[in-house]
Amino acid sequence: MNAKLLTSILAAFLIIGKGYAQNQETTDSLARELQEVVVAAKQPATRLVGSTLVSTIPGTNLAGLGTALDVLAQLPMVKVQDNAVSVIGKSNIEIYIDGRPMRDEQELQQILSSDLKKVELLMAPGAAYESTTGAVLKITTRRNFVKGLSLTDQFQLQRRRRWSVMDHLGLSYRAGDWEIFLNGTINHNNSVDKGTTTNSLVYNGKAVVVGSSQNNSFPATVGAIKGGFNYSRGPQSFGAYYRYNPERGDFVNSGSEWIDNNPAIARDIDKRIRAHSHLASLYYENTFADKYLLHFDGDFRSAYAANDVATTYPESTTPAVNSTDKRTSTLWAGKLYLNFPLWNGEFTAGTQDCYTHTSLDYRMLNTEVSEYIPSSLTDARQTSAALFASWSRVFGMLSLSVGARYEYVDYDFKTDGVRDDNVSRRDHLLTPDVSLGYSFDDESQISVSYKMATVKPPYSQLTGSLNYTGLHEIEGGNPGLRDERMHDIQLFGMWKGFMFQADYTRSVDTYAFVKQLYPADNLQLLMHPVNIDVSALNVYLIWSRPIRRWTPNVTVGMYRQWLDLDNNRYDRPIFSYFFSNTFSLPRGWSVTANINGNSQGDMHTNRFCATWFTMDASVGKTFLKKSLTVKLSATDIFNTADNNWTMNTYGVFVDKRQSYDRRGIALNIIYNFQPRKSRYKGESAADAEMKRL
C-alpha cells in the first residue's frame, strides 16, 4: 500500500467521522524531546486533586479507543510516540498498573480501553519515590478476576523504510488463591537513518571544515521471556518472577568523510551487538489491624553486552580501525515501607537500599589510533541507603502533601584497577517536597508544588570510554560528571475546558553534550557530556471540549531556557502547538487525526530547526465483544518532520542534517481471551538505578 493510497483511505474515514460527529472523538548521542500536551475526556472526567491529575475513563469517548496506550495518548500532560510513553517536561517516569510497576511496554497494549477505570498522573511524586522520579502514572482497571486460563496475543506489522514485526503472547492460569503466568515477546526492528554532519572551526589559525555523511541501517532482534507466580489471600499476598532478555543487532553505516574541499573518502562502519540480561524480582505485602500496610520488594539484575566495531575505508589505503567493548552490570536492591493513617491523613515511612556494580572493558586494536584513544578498563561500584517519609491529608477543599528523603551514597570509580579519588565520592543527600492544592468545584482546581531532587547521570556516560567515529572525530562519556541538583516549582490550574500549566526548574550540574578540540597530534574533535547549570520555564495553555462523539484538543505552549556556556547564550524559546481529534464512532470504530508543530529554538546546547506541520492518523475497530482489536495507523503522513539541529560550543559549529524513518504505516492486531488484570502487587525496588544501567 503506497502513501498516497493510505492517505486517501484515512481521509475518507476522517470525513465520515467528522460528519457523524457534527450530526450527532544515534551516533551523536542526542535525543530530541519537544513539549506536547493532549487533553481529552468529558468534563469533569479529568480533574486536579492536589498535584495529581485524575482521569476517569468509563462513560467517555476514550473508553472505546482500543487499548490503554491509545487512551494515554489523549490525556493531559502525556505524550505517546512509537509506543513510548513520556510526560511533558519530565524525565524518569514510573508507570504502575493496579498497584504494581510496569516492567514490559507491551502491557499497555494488552489492556483494553473499555477495561480502564481511572488514570492518575502524579506531577510531584513524594518522598516515597526516588528523588530522580519526575512523574508517576497510576493506571487502575475495572475488570473482575476470572478463574482458569487467560490468553493475550498482540501482533504488529510495521513498514517504514524497512519492515519490522513484533509478536507478544501472554498466558496466565488462576486457581483459588494462586496465579501462574508466562509470556514471551519477539521483536525484529529495522530502522534506517540518513544525514550529514558538518563541523566548522579554526585550527592552527586557519578555518577548517570537517564533514561526514551517514547512511545507517540497524536491524535488531530483541526477545523477552517472563514467568512467575502470585499468591493472594485476604490481606496477605506474595509473588516472584524471572525475566530473560536476549538482544542481537548489526549496525551498518555506509558513508564518507572529507576535510575542506578535498574529495570525500568512502567509509564503512560495521557494529555487531550481542547482549542479554536476567532479572529476578519478589515481593511480600500484608495488612495488620486493618490499617497498617507492610510492603517489601527485592530485585536482582545482571546484564552483559558485547560490541565489535570495524571501521574500514574500502577505496583508500587508510588502515582499518577495529575495537571491542564488553560491559557487565549487577544490581541488588530492596525496598521496605509501612503505610498507616495518621492525624486524619496518610503516613508512609520506609527504607530503600541498593548496590550496583558495572564495568566496561574497552580495547582499541589499531596501534596508531590507540595513541590518542587508549584501551581502558573502567569499574564503578555504588552503595546507597535511603530513608523516606511522607504525609498527606485533605482539609475540605484543601489538600496538602509533605515529605522528605535522606540518602547516603558511596561511589567508587576505578580505571585500570586504580581508584580515581577525583571521581569517587561519598554524599549525604536530603531532598524535601511539598504540594498544596485547592478545589473550588469539580471543574475548577489549582495546585502549587515544590520539589528538590538529585539526579545521577547514567552509567553509560560515567563509564563510557572514548570511541573512534572517524579520521577526525571521537565520541565518549565523562567519568567526571557530577550529580545534578534540581529545584522544581510547578503551578497547575483547571477551569472548565481550560488548563494552565507552568513549570520552572533550576538545574545545577545537569549535563549537556558539547563538541570541542581534543588534544592529539592531529586534528581531532570530541563530542562528550559536560556539567552545566541551566534554568528552564515550560508554559502551556490547553483547551478541550467534547462535542458528542468528536473530541478536539488544542494546545499552545512555550519552552524557554537560560543557559550560558563559554561566552555563548542558548536562550531562544521554542513555541509549539498540538491539535488532536478523536472520533468515537458506532459499532466499535474509532478514528484519530493529530497535527503538531514547533518553532526553531534552543534546548540545552542544541538549536533545533522548526517543524511547522506534521500529521499522524489512525483508524481502528473492535470485534467479538471487544476481545479483538484491529488498528491501522500512519505516522508523519506527509514526511514533513524536521530532525535537523545545530550546535556551537567551544569554537566548533556543528550543522547536523538528518532524516529519520518515522514516516510509515503499522497494522496492530490484539486478541484477548478471558482478559483479566494480574493480582501481582510487586514494585520496583530500584527503578531509577535500573534505568541508569
Q: What is the pLDDT of residues 241-263, one digit of tens each?
A: 999 999 999 999 999 999 999 99
Up-side HSE of residue 496: CA atoms within 13 Å toward CB? 1
User: Can you give the pLDDT at residue 537?
Assistant: 96
Averaged pLDDT, 644-655: 96
Please give the full DSSP string across 552-618, using - where no structure is assigned: EEEEEEEEEEE-EETTEE----EEEEEEEEEEE-STTEEEEEEEEEE--EEETTEEEPPEEEEEEEE
User: What is the C-alpha separation between 391 and 354, in angstroms, rounded?
Assistant: 24
Find, among 218, 317, 221, 305, the residue nearest to 270 by Cα. Answer: 218
Question: Is residue 354's pLDDT more than 90?
Answer: yes
Per-residue pLDDT at 529: 95
Average pLDDT over residues 353-369: 95
Lowest mean pLDDT among 196-200, 213-217, 281-285, 453-457: 453-457
Q: Residue 427's pLDDT is what?
A: 92
Tell me the backbone φ, ψ of residue 61, rounded to 5 degrees: -65, -20
| Mean pLDDT confidence for 176-202 | 93
Is the pLDDT at 97 greater than 90, yes or no?
Answer: no
d(CA 574, CA 35): 9
DSSP-derived pairing of the beta strands 93-97 and 135-141: parallel
Query: At a CB cut-off of 8 Å and minimum separation 6, what does 557 contact?
Result: 35, 37, 538, 539, 540, 541, 575, 576, 577
Tens of pLDDT, residues 142-172: 755 556 888 888 899 999 989 999 998 989 8
617-645 tens-digit pLDDT: 999 888 887 788 898 999 999 999 988 99
The pLDDT value given to residue 684: 53
Residue 685: per-residue pLDDT: 55
- pLDDT at residue 370 tops 90: yes
Q: Where are the alpha helices (DSSP H) in 258-389?
A: none
Range scoring the smallest mean pLDDT among 22-26, 54-58, 673-677 = 22-26
d(CA 243, CA 448): 40
Rounded Cα–Cα distance for residues 420 and 549 (Å): 63
Give pLDDT, residue 24: 33
Place of cell 550540574: 509
Alpha-carbon distance of 526 to 470, in angstroms, equals 11
- The pLDDT of residue 89 is 65
* Cβ burial, residue 220 (10 Å; 0-12/13-18/19+): middle
pLDDT mean over 486-494: 90
Mean pLDDT of 527-550: 89
Quickly state the pLDDT bin for 287 (edges 50, 70, 90).
very high
What is the predicted pLDDT for the residue at 417?
A: 92
**% of the chain surpassing 90 pLDDT:** 56
Comparing 570 with 13, the larger pLDDT belongs to: 570
pLDDT at 18: 36
Q: Give me the half-sphere count of Cα atoms (radius 13 Å) on the Cβ side of residue 559.
A: 24
Across the chain, what does the average pLDDT equal? 85
- How far is residue 606's CA from residue 572's CA, in Å, rounded to a whole number? 10
pLDDT for residue 29: 34
Residue 31 has pLDDT above 80, yes or no: no
Read off the pLDDT of each residue in 129-138 and give the average, rounded to a whole number. 76
Confidence at residue 95, expressed as pLDDT on a 0 to 100 scale: 86
pLDDT tens track for 51-79? 677 888 887 777 777 778 888 877 777 77
Contact 569, 547 (CB under 8 A): no
Cα separation of 483 and 490, whole Å?
A: 22
- Which of 79-83, 177-181, 273-277, 577-581 is least confident? 79-83
More confident call, 18 vs 627: 627
More confident residue, 190 or 96: 190
Please, where are the H alpha helices in 50-180?
A: 68-72, 107-110
pLDDT in tens, 505-514: 999 999 999 9
38, pLDDT greater than 70: no
Range 539-568 average pLDDT: 87
Q: Is 543 helix (H, G, I), strand (E, B) or coil?
A: strand
Per-residue confidence (pLDDT) for residue 52, from 0 to 100: 77
Quick check: 23 pLDDT over 50?
no
